[in-house]
Amino acid sequence: MGRTVVELFYDVISPYSWLGFEVLCRYQHIWNIDLRLRPGFLGGIMQKTGNKPPAMLPKRAEYLLKDIRRMAKYYQVPVSITGDDFQRIFQTSSLAAMRFITAIDMTQSQYLEPLSREFWIRFWSQHEDISQPENILTVAQQAGLSSELSQKALEMISSPKVKDRLKETTDEAIKYGAFGMPAVVAHYNGEPHLFFGSDRLELLGSVIGEKWLGPAPS
């Protein structure tokens, strides 16, 4: 049998996206899958589907704090979250970051995985800004990109080509049925199977005929 294509639609503003990203990056070397990272814009999905951030509901925000901490420990991903982070998310736009990641995906895709990871680390482990150009360049440097390549990608984020690519990816996720991120789409038996969130990866394995070996398989 051929390899199952698994697409991960994500935004670095989403801590659950980071959890799903890290586990799928581990399993791409274990399961018979072709993992395709699809950077999108969570704000666009929320707006177009009429969804609202769960943290806007006090009781749900209270639960999310516990849930993300538990999942971070279980999946062994250094997400660090406090109640203050919800306000920080509401005040931060990931649009420039996701356009920058998209520009790199279009030009130097070998950096897509480490670059995305560094954005999550900066925002969710170090609690630092990812919206300003100077901070984006710092993240790129940490991911191993040269100054020349980083500057070129930064200039590209205002181009119609990059803006359209990010919008198209976001719209594609919505067409699959996504209403938030992460959205995982497995193409199996001739049809797409959508899984929302980072807590459905065991079920994903079951659907595509792969065995779940835990959050950090060796």
pLDDT at residue 70, as a whole number: 97
What fold does the segment set 4-208 form as a domain?
Glutaredoxin (3.40.30)
pLDDT at residue 76, as a whole number: 96
The full length of the chain comes to 218
User: 123-177 pLDDT, tens per residue?
Assistant: 999 999 999 999 999 999 999 999 999 999 999 999 999 999 999 999 999 999 9
Q: Which residue ranges make up each domain of the chain? A: 4-208
Q: Which residues are catalytic?
A: 14
Percentage above 70 pLDDT, the chain: 100
Contact 13, 41 (CB under 8 A): no
Question: Of 84 and 78, which is predicted with more confidence?
Answer: 78
Q: Rounded to the nearest 10 degrees, what angle do helices 160-175 and 95-107 cross at?
A: 100
pLDDT at residue 88, as a whole number: 87
pLDDT at 218 over 90: no
pLDDT at residue 140, as a whole number: 98
- Give the mean model confidence (pLDDT) for residues 73-91: 91
Residue 75, token pair as written in the block: 């999946």
Whole-model pTM: value is 0.96
pLDDT at 55 over 80: no
Q: Rounded to the nearest 10 degrees, what angle do helices 15-27 and 112-120 cross at?
A: 140
pLDDT, the chain, mean: 95
57-61, 94-98, 114-118, 201-205: least confidently modelled range: 57-61
- Give the mean model confidence (pLDDT) for residues 42-57: 89
User: 8-41 pLDDT, tens per residue?
Assistant: 999 999 999 999 999 999 999 999 999 999 999 9
pLDDT at residue 1, as a whole number: 62
- Give the mean model confidence (pLDDT) for residues 194-199: 96
pLDDT at residue 56, as a whole number: 78
